[in-house]
Homo-oligomer: A and B are copies of this chain.
């Protein structure tokens, strides 16, 4: 991905102005690369601080985001020689990403990718950004689900769509050949999919990659407070995140594990496949990530954790010219190698 400019980062930053009063002045980290330091030092993006006044107000924001980011994603895919096919699986819209070459030991494998965006953002091709390097640089075939979102389609439309596609992929590819992956809301949906599979007695995927999962939809978790205003991607819970909860959960109990998977039963967690969780030291969702990881470990699930130095929420994937980003994807590929090539005992 080094050859691409930080298109997405630029798009996200263009929507930004400084809104937060910084109460906790901290210097630019010296332990990350220059491009990453620039991203870390940028003002808090105002995208996630918005609280739209009405549904139509919101639809305008979401649709502008989908158009701008979606266009750049498709153009990136072309430059990276990744074929993108929009199609349907189980009547749900998906994008199938196929790299020019697929490694022989990955030929029968597939990544099922679930995008993030608070259940309200990431429509269409804007939802394939994080998945692209898995196809382009790591030569995996990736199926990205373009699930229905709030406010039009509240809970459980999104997770029903993702699970419907997964069940079909199990039939066509076999659960052992599927890794499920996503970040933020997509990270939570990755975990929720495993809960749905456990409940429905559908075979578990071979692995889960759950990046900084929104595992507690309520404002519960220490980093929601400690990293408020420190995380320069999300900024604060008390903006768009809160709106997203209202739009999607619609009063449903936020302790339902299908909304907040950190409250999953011990029984379900004990059935989890190898699961990699990822966060950053400045991440507003650091607690969401480590609380989930600890619950899995205490249930003896084969769970792994990576915390990226100095990074805010999901910053590991959209600063495309930073070596940290390349390293991040390499660690994901290494994890899948451990799962599929070495097949360790659970």
Contact = CB atoms under 8 A, between A and B. Distances in A.
A235 to B, nearest CB: 15
Contacts of A330: 298
A24 B222 CA distance: 13
A251 interface: no
The 3 closest A-B pairs by CB, nearest first: A222-B310, A24-B24, A29-B222
Interface of A: 23-24, 26-27, 29-31, 220-223, 225-226, 230, 281-282, 286-287, 290-291, 293-294, 297-298, 300, 304-310, 327, 330-331, 334, 342, 344-345
Contacts of A281: 222-223, 226, 286-287, 290
A252 B286 CA distance: 36
Most B CB contacts (10 A, CB to CB) among A30, A225, A300, A307 go to A307
A272 to B, nearest CB: 15
Nearest to A228: B26
Give the number of times this chain occurs in the complex, counting copies. 2
B291 A31 contact: yes
A338 to B, nearest CB: 9
Given A31-B222, A226-B230, A282-B222, A309 B290 contact: yes
A14 to B, nearest CB: 26
Contacts of A344: 344-345
Contact of A309 (B31, B287, B298): B287
B331 A308 contact: no
A307 B290 contact: yes
